[in-house]
Amino acid sequence: MNLVEIISVIKDCNSIAILPHVQADGDAWGSCLALGTALKKLNKSVKIISEEIIPRIYNFLPLEDSLIYDENAHYHFDLVIALDTGDTGRLGNRIKVFGSTENTVNIDHHGTNTGFARYNYLDAEAAATGEIVYELINILNVEIDTNMATCLYVAIATDTGCFKFNNTTSKTHEIVSALVKKGVNVAEVAQRVFDSTTKERVMLMGYAINTLELFEEGRLAFISITNEMIKAASAKEEDCDGIVNIGRNIEGVESSVVIREKSQGEYKVNLRSKSYLDVGQVAFKFGGGGHKMAAGCTIKGDMDSVKKSVYEELKRLL
C-alpha cells in the first residue's frame, strides 16, 4: 500500500482510533498527537488510546482532549490506526480495540514489522514514524500548525537520538527544517525532553551503573536493573529509559544491553549497537523487534539465564 491508498481508506471513515505502542516513546506519542490533530481538522472524530499515562518529559506536548488512557475502553470505530507498532504484541491490552473492526491500518518504520493490519504502510528507511506522518499530513493537505510541528519534531528528534544516530538522513533534516519554520521552540524541546531529569532517575542510574559489566574485550556492555533498585530509588518505569545509552557511549563498546526485571521471571531487554551489529535481529530471535541499532524484547527466566542467552547471541554476531 502507498500513502495515497492509506489516505483514501482514512477519508472514507468518520470515527477513528489511533494507537501508539505500549510504553510509548517520543516517536509514538508525537506521531499519534500530530496525526490525531490533523484528522480532527478534517472533522473526523478521533480518539488516541494509550496503555499508559504520558510520561513527564512529553507532557508539555499539546494534548488533545481526544486522548484516553483506558485500554479496556470499548467503542465502535470505523477505523483503527496503529502507529510505530511493530507487531500486535506491542498493542498490549488494546488488542481488543484493534480487533473490534476489520478496518485497520498499520503505519510504521520498524524493519521487523509483521504487517498485521488490513492496510499496511512500512518504510524501514524512515528515521521515525513521525517522518511518515509528516508526509501523510502533507498529502492530506492539512496545514501543519505549531503544535503539530512540535509533536512531529519530538517524534523525529527522539528516534534519531537528537539527530545523532545513523538513521538520520538529509530528508530528516529537510523535514525538520520545515517543522522549525512552523515555529517549533527547539531550545524548549531540548530542555524538556533531553536535558531534564529527576532525583529518582539519577539515583536509579547510580544503582544501574554499579552493575555495569564489559565482555569480549570491552565490546559488549551489560547493565542489570532489579525491582529492588527501582524501589530503593523511588523510580518509575520510565526512569529506566535511556540507561542503555550509558553502556553504548563507552569507547570500544559495539553493543549495549540493559536487562530489567519486570515481574517474577520476566525480564525486559533493551539493546543498542553503535556501528554494525544488528540488534533488531537479536531481539527478533527472542520474540521482540526493533531496528538495527535499537531494539527490545521480553525474555522469561532469571537475571543470569537471560543475560547468558543475550550474551551468546550477541557474541555470535560480533
Applying CB under 5 A, which of residues 84, 131, 238, 254 lies at the interface with Mn ion?
A: 84
The residue among 37 and 129 lying less far from Mn ion, judged by its C-beta, is 129
Tell me phi and psi for residue 297, to 5 degrees.
Answer: -160, 170
Range in contact with Mn ion (rule: CB under 5 A) among 36-44, 51-59, 78-86, 222-230: 78-86
The residue among 208 and 294 lying less far from Mn ion, judged by its C-beta, is 294
Range in contact with Mn ion (rule: CB under 5 A) among 76-84, 141-149, 223-231, 294-302: 76-84
> Position of cell 521515525?
128
Range in contact with Mn ion (rule: CB under 5 A) among 24-32, 93-101, 172-180, 216-224: 24-32
Residue 39: CB atoms within 10 Å = 23
What is the rounded (10 degree) CA torsion for 141, 142, 144, 150? Answer: -110
Alpha helix segments (H runs only) across the chain: 3-11, 26-41, 95-98, 129-139, 146-159, 170-181, 186-189, 199-209, 227-232, 244-248, 279-285, 303-317
The residue among 117 and 205 lying less far from Mn ion, judged by its C-beta, is 117
> Footprint of Mn ion on residues 132-161 (CB under 5 A)?
159
Applying CB under 5 A, which of residues 27, 64, 87, 241 lies at the interface with Mn ion?
A: 27
Sort strands 15-19 and 79-83 into parallel, antiparallel or unpaired: parallel
Query: Smallest gap, in angstroms, from Cβ of residue 161 to Mn ion?
Result: 12
**Is residue 129 within 8 Å of 27, Cβ to Cβ?**
yes
Query: Smallest gap, in angstroms, from Cβ of residue 82 to Mn ion?
Result: 12
**Is residue 244 within 8 Å of 271, Cβ to Cβ?**
yes
The residue among 84 and 241 lying less far from Mn ion, judged by its C-beta, is 84
The residue among 204 and 288 lying less far from Mn ion, judged by its C-beta, is 288
Using CB under 5 A as the binding rule, whether residue 131 contacts Mn ion is answered as no
Residues that bind Mn ion (CB under 5 A): 27, 84, 129, 159
